[in-house]
Amino acid sequence: MTISASPASPNIVQRPLPAEWQLSGIPATLQRIYAARGVTRDDELQLTLKSLLPYHAMKGLDAALTLLVDAMQQQQRVLVVGDFDADGATSTAVAIRALRMMGLQQIDYLVPNRFDFGYGLTPELVDVAVQQRPDLILTVDNGIAANAGVAAAQAHGIKVLVTDHHLPGDELPDAEAIVNPNQPGCAFESKAACGCAVVFYLMLALKTRLASIGFFAKQQISEPNLLDLLDLVALATVADVVPLDYNNRILVEQGLRRIRAGRCQPGIRALLEVAGRDPLRVVSTDFGFVVGPRLNAAGRLDDMSMGIECLLTDNPSIAVQIATELDGMNRDRRQIEAGMAQDAERTLKSLTSALDQTTDYPAGVCLYQADWHQGVIGILASRVKEKIYRPVIAFAQADNGELKGSARSIPGLHMRDALDLVFKRQPGLIKKFGGHAMAAGLTLVEDGFDTFRQAFAEVCEELLEPGSLQEQIEVDGELASEDYTLELAETLRWASPWGQGFPEPCFSGEFELVQQRIVGEKHLKLVVQPKGTGLLLDAICFNVDPALWPSPKTAAQLVFQLDVNEFRGNRSVQLLVRKIFIMG
């Protein structure tokens, strides 16, 4: 789907700045960038482990530790039940690696195949789990909505410890213990923790508890260094697109430092290398755009067990072999997505035609085609949302006749709350749902699409404030001519972990388009000149519409990031263009 370049009029605003800030020892441009993201003091830039939030405030921790200590002391069978995305895979890997490091011998995992079982600990998945005869099921990145699944496990005499970060429903599962910073009454300050971070905190607490009772001495094993798992936590935090609050930035930065120092899991190193990235120069955006998609490809097209095995193996050769397979699956996923995007374009055109409109859409958009791939509808929903700036839900047909939906929202609409409202107004229409403010998943009854589409559009119309459907592109202002330097580009690259809620620095300005040409079928290669200067700069804009570009117009407003282009050993400044708006 072509979303990067548009001839439309811009709606660009500068990120608001606080009245004052006290930052020192860094360039003025970077000071302004940090201040616009709420960092106003030098100590807020100290992303050290000693500044991490302590685990003690997590509700349910004591009950969870009692279960795990009993499991360790009695060498019980523990089964980790994960999820089929990057957060679920890394959470599973952290739980298994940590418990093995602490001396647990009987531990295995089970991750549901999205096509056979759907999301989370369902009663159907419990039927599979009981074949392994676990004493304890530990859910990671799921479970907060698994009321029926928890009850099914307990009916088989299996205890359940839920660790999750998703928003809870009106009724919590009756598990033996629940650790989730978003459950009612939890005082843990970082509500943005991903599932992997939650289980990592639990493992830290378990290590402390075991040390206090002399467990490691009795077992004659050394206390493990669980900080060696921070590369997995960093990957999950960025790939799951949770807001990078201060605590999450510490987790990501510390994980990145370990990878750059050569202290990372073989699987993460292999995933970087098959994508052509140097692990010694890894940055946070590599997690989101390089590692995460390849890891997710397993869960989208097949079975996330392959991704988990990549993260669990200590054999570099096996890691490369699995990473290569995942890379191939990701290429297949991109081809499937491209075809679905073309279908979505046709659906959008017919939708506006039916409304007798040419440029507008309902407040909430639902798309469905029977042959769409379940594993790719989430990416499709994201792409369409970016294009039309509406809350979007993409649906695919499930084997049992149900419709599986993946939802993506925009600022101003809490997706889970919107789905909850439809659920209550249309009893029996939604079979199950769950998720976050910005993303969610749901299952509809067969033949329920048309009813749901109308109900969802009405709820979005009701909940969204006037003007919220007009996208505002936030930027960090304009750059002076002396700022287009390799030094500043490098400074911004290494300045901080960038991600959701702490976006990469992005600028805008008026430029003359000196040269334009299409490369690689749909990428626009440019030579541009900032207005009022004699500078000539290379620029590239990915995924443009070849029907619109090159353009006969030569003046445009660009929204861009300052980037470093490396080619045949030479390094130069390049503008990574996110949006192009033709002028005149």
CB 305 within 8 Å of CB 329: no
- The letter for the amino acid at 502 is F
**CATH tag for 50-327 (out of 3.40.250.10, 3.40.50.170, 2.60.300.12, 3.90.1640.30):** 3.90.1640.30
Torsion on CA atoms 407, 409, 412, 413, rounded to nearest 10: -10
d(CA 332, CA 297): 9
The DSSP bridge pattern shows strands 555-567 and 570-582 to be antiparallel
Per-residue pLDDT at 1: 35
Q: Is the confidence at residue 355, as pLDDT, over 70?
A: no
pLDDT-derived band at 392 (thresholds 50, 70, 90) equals very high
Q: Which residue has the tokens 């994201």?
A: 382
What is the pLDDT at residue 584? 67
Please tell me the predicted confidence (pLDDT) of residue 350.
Answer: 76
Strands 523-530 and 507-519, how do they pair? antiparallel
Q: Which of 82, 140, 72, 138 is nearest to 106 (CA)?
A: 72
Residue 11 predicted with pLDDT over 90: no
- Rounded CA gap, 303 and 311, in Å? 14
**CATH architecture for residues 361-463:** Roll (3.10)
Instruction: Give the amino acid at 421.
Output: L
Kindly state the average pLDDT of the residues 222-240: 97
CA dihedral of residues 184, 189, 191, 196 (deg, nearest 10): -110
Q: Specify the DSSP class assigned to residue 142.
A: -
Mean pLDDT throughout 25-32? 93
With 90 as the cut, is the pLDDT of residue 319 above it?
Answer: yes
Side chain identity at residue 392, one-letter code: V
For the cut 50, the answer to whether the pLDDT of residue 534 exceeds it is: yes
Strand segments, DSSP code E, in 336-462 are 365-368, 392-397, 403-408, 430-435, 439-444
Q: What span, in angstroms and rounded, lies between the C-alpha atoms of 548 and 176?
A: 59
- The model's confidence at residue 10, banded by pLDDT at 50, 70 and 90, is low
pLDDT tens, position by position, 77-134: 999 999 989 999 999 999 999 999 999 999 999 998 777 777 789 999 999 999 999 9
- With beta carbons less than 8 A apart as the criterion, state whether 288 and 241 touch: yes
What is the per-residue pLDDT across 151-182, written as a single tens digit (0 to 9) for each?
A: 999 999 999 999 999 989 889 999 999 999 99
pLDDT number for residue 22: 93
Residue 28: what residue type? A
Q: What is the mean pLDDT of residues 467-493?
A: 92
Query: For residue 487, which amino acid is it?
Result: E
pLDDT for residue 299 is more than 90: no
**In terms of residues, how long is the chain?**
584
Upstream peptide bond of 550 is cis (omega within 30 degrees of 0)? yes
Higher pLDDT, 301 or 310: 310
What pLDDT is stored for residue 430 in this prediction? 95
Could you tell me the pTM of the whole model? 0.89
Give the pLDDT confidence score for residue 7 in this predicted structure. Answer: 43
Amino acid at 39: V
The pLDDT value given to residue 583: 85
- Residue 467 above 90 pLDDT? no
- Which pLDDT belongs to residue 352? 60
Question: Average per-residue pLDDT in the chain?
Answer: 92
Integer Cα distance of 181 and 186 in angstroms: 6
What letter represents residue 199's amino acid?
V
Average pLDDT of the segment spanning 308-334:
95
Q: Which helix (H) or strand (E) holds 424?
A: helix 415-425
Two tokens at 537?
């700069």
Both structure tokens of 12? 């660009």
Strands 430-435 and 403-408: unpaired
What band does 220 get if pLDDT is binned at 50, 70 and 90? very high
> Tens of pLDDT along 35-52?
999 999 999 999 999 999
Under DSSP, is residue 302 helix (H, G, I), strand (E, B) or coil?
A: coil
Residue matched to tokens 């843990």: 188
Whether the predicted pLDDT of 309 surpasses 60: yes
The answer to whether 110 and 129 are in contact (CB under 8 A) is yes
Backbone angles phi, psi at 560, to 5 degrees: -150, 165
Per the CB < 8 A criterion, the answer to whether 374 and 400 are in contact is no
Q: Which stretch of 120-124, 176-180, 265-269, 434-438 has the lowest confidence by average pLDDT?
A: 434-438
DSSP secondary structure letters along 477-510 = ----GGG--HHHHHHHHHSS--BTTBPPP-EEEE
Integer Cα distance of 139 and 148 in angstroms: 14
DSSP letters for 124-182: HHHHHHGGG--SEEEESS--TT-HHHHHHHHHTT-EEEEE--SPP-SS----SEEE-TT
Q: What is the DSSP letter of 291?
A: I
404 near 398, Cβ under 8 Å?
yes
Mean pLDDT of 531-552: 91
Helix, strand, or coil (residue 567): strand
415 touches 436 (CB < 8 A): yes
* Encoded tokens for 461: 């119309």
What pLDDT score does 353 carry? 56
Which residue has better confidence, 433 or 248? 248
Dist CA 421 CA 425 (whole Å): 6
For residue 485, is pLDDT > 70?
yes
CATH fold, domain 12-16+473-582, is OB fold (Dihydrolipoamide Acetyltransferase, E2P) (2.40.50)
pLDDT at 466: 81
Return the closest-CA partner of residue 85 out of 273, 297, 317, 318.
Answer: 297
360: buried, middle or exposed (CB in 10 Å: 19+, 13-18, 0-12)? Answer: exposed
Residue, of 56 and 496, whose pLDDT is higher: 56
Question: Using 50, 70 and 90 to split pLDDT, how confident is the model at 301?
Answer: confident
The domain ranges of the chain are 12-16+473-582, 50-327, 361-463
Q: Is 78 helix (H, G, I), strand (E, B) or coil?
A: strand
Distances in Å between the Cα of 228 and the Cα atoms of 49, 283, 340, 536, 581 are 13, 18, 40, 45, 46
